[in-house]
Amino acid sequence: MIRTSLLALLLAGSATAALAQTDPHAGHTMPAAPAAADPHAGHQVPTEPGAAPAETAPPTSADPHAGHQMPAPAAGAPHAGHAMPAAPAAAPADPHAGHAMPAEPPAAADPHAGHATEPAAGGQTGADLPVGNAPPPEVIRDSVADRVFGRDAMARARSILENEHGAARVSKLQADLLEWAPDGDRYGWEVEGWYGGDINRFAFKSEGEGQSGEGVESAEIQLLYSRAVARYTDVQAGVRYDLEPRGRAYATVGVDAMFPYWFEAEGALFLSDRGDLLARAEGSYDLRLTQRLILQPRAELEFAAQDIPESQIGSGLSSAELGLRLRYEIRREFAPYVGVSYERSIGDTADFVRAHGEKAESTRFVVGLRAWF
């Protein structure tokens, strides 16, 4: 009986102690179940090409007890009566987080970039300045070399320098044709020469032909003043005198030129003391087959303004001479040659020639020498 009463008391005390251990979450409002996690949470949204990267706010740590109702401290709790600190406030979310920020528009181009700006109003430029009328400075004549070497010695040196650079006087004698034709035993010549500087020169020319045993048939000489008027052109004026077939003087004006590709040409007008007007044109070209072997075609035309019966010359184109000569330059100034020459009287001139019992045309084989000194 006594054992039964003790057992009942022990069971009642155990039940009372169990009821005294209160549930710490009793009376709490349980939060709603968390929403499903965003699969792109924490990912950086890609931006469009050229756009500035979006600014992303740093993640804030969630309060594990946010929304919980804190129970009153149980009796005997170690923190009973303590004031619990408030949970830290969450940082405000960036309203532009995850947005693609547009790129800044490019700066507008300056419409005047690269333009020469005009001077400010009232300013002056070089063109606005008045033209000066001050006298030029005096020429400096005091030479240091005169003090070192002496004035007389330097004057001689300057004179030599001037002569060597354009003021020198030089001369040349050239025989373009010195030839003989075995058929008919005929001979002919064309010689010219000059003396002077680069601009002004004295020139002379002579040409003629004859036959062995009969003497000179025609011969002339020209004395000319020659002046360079262009790089390769000289204008000439002077007198011409015919020695054969009869003496006659002419006033002469002509031109001597070299054209591109080394074509040489001459032209002249002759007015005789009797009023006869003649003209002559001739040209040649050196075709270099080798450095020393040269083929030269030549042509010469004679004209007259009127008939001159005593000289067997008719008006218009009176005669033509064509030649082809091949020379070998043993030295530049000494070159023997062989060739062929064709002559023909034309128009009234041919009639005059035939009236004197001569042929109006002829072809000759020639040998000769071209030389200059």
Tell me, what's the pLDDT at 93?
Answer: 66
Tell me, what's the pLDDT at 17?
Answer: 45
How many CB atoms within 10 Å of residue 186? 19
Residue 333 · residue 372 · CB < 8 Å: yes
Q: Give exposure, 28-43, as e/b (b: 16+ Cβ within 10 Å).
A: eeeeeeeeeeeeeeee
User: What gap in Å lies between CA 61 and CA 241, rounded to an integer?
Assistant: 128
Residue 162 · residue 345 · CB < 8 Å: no
User: What gap in Å lies between CA 324 and CA 326, rounded to an integer?
Assistant: 7
User: What gap in Å lies between CA 361 and CA 341, rounded to an integer?
Assistant: 11
HEC string of 103-118? CCCCCCCCCCCCCCCC
Q: Which contiguous run of DSSP H or E holds residue 145? A: helix 144-149
Residue 232 · residue 255 · CB < 8 Å: no
**What's the Cα-to-Cα distance from 199 to each of 124, 159, 192, 267, 304, rounded to whole Å?**
47, 18, 18, 19, 32
User: Regarding beta strands 186-196 and 170-181, do their DSSP bridges make them parallel or antiparallel, or are they unpaired?
Assistant: antiparallel
> For each of the chain's 373 residues, which pLDDT tens digit applies?
455 554 455 554 444 444 344 455 555 555 554 444 555 555 555 444 444 444 444 444 555 555 555 555 444 455 555 555 555 555 566 666 666 666 666 666 676 666 656 655 666 676 777 788 888 888 887 888 998 999 899 999 998 888 788 777 889 999 999 999 998 789 999 999 999 988 999 999 999 999 988 889 999 999 999 999 998 999 999 999 999 888 899 999 999 999 999 999 999 999 999 999 999 999 999 999 999 999 999 999 999 999 998 888 999 999 999 999 999 999 999 999 999 999 999 999 999 999 988 889 999 999 999 999 9
User: What gap in Å lies between CA 57 and CA 38, rounded to an integer?
Assistant: 17
DSSP 3-state helix, strand, coil percentages of the chain (rounded to 5)? Answer: 15, 40, 45
Encoded amino acid at 347, one letter? G
User: What gap in Å lies between CA 66 and CA 245, rounded to an integer?
Assistant: 144
Of 353, 355, 346, 273, nearest to 315 by C-alpha is 346
Tell me, what's the pLDDT at 236?
Answer: 97
238 pairs with which residues across the strands? 224, 252
Residue 272 · residue 248 · CB < 8 Å: yes
